[in-house]
Every structure is written in structure tokens, then in C-alpha cells.
Amino acid sequence: MKDETVRASQGQGVADQFEVVGVDGALLLEEKSLGRVLRVVENLGKDRRYLLLTLKGNGIEEEAARAFVRELGLGLTSIRKLSRRIDEAPMLIGSVLSPDGGWTLAEKIGAGKRILHLAKRRSPFISVFNPPRGVVCHRFYKLVLGTECPYDCSYCYLQLTFRMAPYTRQYLNLENLWRELERLNRRTRKPILLNTGELADPLAVDQITGIINEVISQMSKYENLQLLLLTKSADADHLQPVENHRVVFSVSLTTAENAEEFEQGAPEPSDRIEALHKAEMKGYRTRCRIDPIISASQDWEADYQQLIEILFERTRVEMITLGQPRFHPPLLNLVRKRYPEAGQVLTHLPPWHGMEKFMGGNPSDRIEVYKRMLGMIQHHHQGNSPLLMLCKEDSAIVRALRVKPGRCNCLV
């Protein structure tokens, strides 16, 4: 059963679910980063609970934090001194849960959905993703503008990826990114697509932070650099128009029934499709992922058929990537703890590569689901189907379906 309070936040935006906003004190030392923090405060309001996180012994950071509080007149604010930057996670989680610790992982993840962390990125913003062994995937470029997500999809792999810091984090020191883009542009001779959706949802909180338009403007300077916005958000109204077709707007889709059961807090799939339409009107290329395909209900085929019909009525997507749930045992065990009913449903879906020994089942079941989905899409677009690909799937399954590995959602 859905948590209706989280689902209701859709109408008001995800901003209302954030009880605590953590601010990296180092952001206050740089004029443009400080300006972005101020923009967040303006969008969220001053009556939030702000935690300014500074390093012990760094008097410059601490004084900047005190000046920040004085000038804005923030009422529910405290300055917390960290021995190490890594200490920020227990401090932020402890601001929502009991500060004594001893939390379960499920409790930490639940608390993290109520926390927004404005941070300074100290690692590179841009890196290369190397695909896992044994699956059909490609090397692609990641652009890390943040980590985690305020939506709470029960199947999401980010639950374990960021189990040590399971809250929405946004990086605001974008001047470091501008320098990385300049270096990358100098050394590349062919187009590169930078994927912002591997470790976070880049648009889920962008109406609060407002950084995506900055990134689009900066990247428009470079002919060979393209941007992929992969999201479940339905917010496209605030995005600036583009003229060079070097920005791809891609949404993850499922049926309305599956969204209600498994995607807590996320926009309705029909609203995501409408966001695709709006992006197309602004000059964006569009793609979508129907992933994960959850084939548990008796009427799953009819539900996906309806989804595909709406998609093609409203959009001209150039590519559709398909995927089914991809679980390792630790993630599936966590899902069962956090969402027992959803966990039971997901347990009985066709297992992923290498999972047969843990879950039982036959890979042919997985192949059959893909065949039916591919058939629906191809039937609707006879002779003029968008490019189709599978995501992180076993090579034997890809061969059995005669899908040619090539361009994919994360590639130019």
C-alpha cells in the first residue's frame, strides 16, 4: 500500500517532503556557489531546518556560516562542526532520527527521503562508467550533478548504492564542472553524451536548485558535448529551449498501476509522457526507458499496450530502451524489509542474469516478456519503429531476441 502522504507531495512538489537541509560550509566561501545556496533558500523558504556543516578548526568556514545565518535571519538553523567530511552522513540522518544511532538500513533510507544536502563535489564531476561483466552494456560518460533521489521506488538500486548516505545530495560548485567540460572538449574529436541519470534523478529537485539550465547553457559552447537528462520527473516547464539538438530528455516509464504500487512519490507516467512532449516542443531530442517492466498482474500486457499508445500519441521518441527488474540478493532482501508486499511481487518475477540459482525460474520467461513488449512497439509502428534496445541484460537473451547491440539510451 502506498504512503499517501508521500504520494500527495506530488501536487506540491518534492520540496515539501524535505524537513532538513544540510549545507556544506565550503559552498559559502565561493561567490557563485553561495548564490546557488541562496537560490535554494529562496525557493524552500527560511522556516526550514538548516544545518550548516563546517570542519572543526576551519575558522573561515565557521565565520562564513555565522554570517550566512545572520544575514538571512534563518530561525531553525544550527552550525555543526565535523571532524571529517565523512561525518556529515550520521549527523544529517541523526537530525531526523534519534541522534543516538543504532538505526537499521531501512530506517536510514526512509529518513533520507526527508533530507536535502547541498554539497561541494570534491571528486571529478565527469567519469566513465564501465559495465558489469556478463551483461550487454556499453561504456558511457557519467555526469554526477548529485546523488540519490527524493522519489522512493521500491525496486531502486540506489538504495544500496548510497546506503551510507541515503539522502538527496546536490552539488553546487559548478565552476569545477565548467573546467572539466573545457578539458574534455579539448581532447575529444567525436560527440560524447554525458549521462546525468546514473546516480541520481537530475530533475527531481531542479525546480529548487535551478542548476540544469546553467549546465545546458555551459555545454552549448562545445559542439561535441551532449547532455542526457534521464528522469522520472514531469517538470519540463522551467527548462530553457535548445536550438542545437544536443540535449536529450529521457524519461523512465511504467504503467499507471505499477507506478501506484512501486514508485512512491514519483509523478504519474502520463505526466512524464507530457513532459516528453513539452521537451520536444522546446527542441530537445527525446527517448524513454520502459524499465523495469513489471509483469506481475493478470492484465499487464493490456496496461503496457495502453502506455505505449499514449507514448506514441504524444511524442516522437527516437529510442526506447527496455529492461526488467535486476536484483542481487542483498537488494531484494532490503526491498522485502522496506516494502513487504512489493517485495513478494518482485520476488516472483522472471529472474535476472545469474539469479536463477537464488530465485528459481527460467530465462525463457524473461525472453517471453521482452518478445511481447517488442511486438507491441513494432506493431504500433510498423516499418517506422524507434530504435529498440535492452538495458543491462544477459547476452544470451539479447541474442535470442535478435536485438542488435549498438546505440543505446546512454550513448549518442
Look at residue 354 and tell me if it is in a domain.
yes
Per the prediction, the chain carries an average pLDDT of 92
Position 136 pLDDT exceeds 50:
yes
CATH classification of the domain holding 236? 3.80.30.30
Position 333 pLDDT exceeds 50:
yes
Tell which phi-psi region holds residue 116, choosing left (phi > 0), alpha (psi between -120 and 50) or beta: beta
Cα(177)–Cα(212) distance, rounded to whole angstroms? Answer: 12
Reference 56, options 83, 29, 78; nearest CA is 83
Grid coordinates of 296? 506481475
Residue-level pLDDT at 76: 80
Reference 243, options 186, 282, 299; nearest CA is 282
Cα(397)–Cα(371) distance, rounded to whole angstroms? Answer: 10
Grid coordinates of 357? 540459482
Cα(48)–Cα(71) distance, rounded to whole angstroms? Answer: 16
Q: Which residue has the higher pLDDT, 353 or 355?
A: 353
Reference 159, options 100, 117, 199, 204; nearest CA is 199
Looking at the DSSP assignment, which residues form a beta bridge with residue 117? 22, 169
Reference 334, options 201, 152, 197; nearest CA is 152
Look at residue 132 and tell me if it is in a domain.
yes
Domain count, the chain: 1
Q: Which residues of 107-129 are buried (b: 16+ CB within 10 A; e: fewer)?
A: bbbbbbbbbbbbbbbeeebbeee
3-class SS of residue 123: coil
Look at residue 18 and tell me if it is in a domain.
no
Q: What is the pLDDT of residues 31-88, one digit of tens each?
A: 999 999 999 999 999 989 999 999 999 999 999 999 999 999 887 889 999 999 999 9
Cα(272)–Cα(252) distance, rounded to whole angstroms? Answer: 8
DSSP letter assigned to residue 143: E
pLDDT band at 349 (very low <50, low <70, confident <90, very high): confident
Look at residue 76 and tell me if it is in a domain.
no
Q: What is the pLDDT of residues 213-265, one digit of tens each?
A: 999 999 999 999 999 999 999 999 999 999 988 999 999 999 999 999 999 99
Report the 10 Å Cβ neighbour count for 66.
Answer: 14
The answer to whether the CB of 56 falls within 8 A of the CB of 27 is no
Cα(121)–Cα(123) distance, rounded to whole angstroms? Answer: 6
Position 362 pLDDT exceeds 70:
no
Residue-level pLDDT at 382: 67
Query: Do the strands 387-390 and 263-264 form a parallel or antiparallel pair, or are they unpaired?
Result: unpaired
- Whole domain around residue 342: which residue ranges? 120-400
Position 361 pLDDT exceeds 80:
no
Interior angle at CA 124, CA 166 and CA 165, nearest 5 = 10
Alpha helix (H) ranges present in 136-289? 158-161, 174-187, 206-209, 212-219, 256-262, 269-281
Mean pLDDT of 357-377: 80
What is the model's pTM?
0.93
Mean pLDDT of 349-363: 63
Q: What is the pLDDT of residues 78-107, one digit of tens each?
A: 999 999 999 999 999 999 998 888 999 999
Look at residue 49 and tell me if it is in a domain.
no
Look at residue 97 and tell me if it is in a domain.
no
Residue-level pLDDT at 99: 84
By CB atoms closer than 10 A (0-12, 13-18, 19+), residue 15 is: middle
Mean pLDDT of 360-383: 84
Look at residue 90 and tell me if it is in a domain.
no
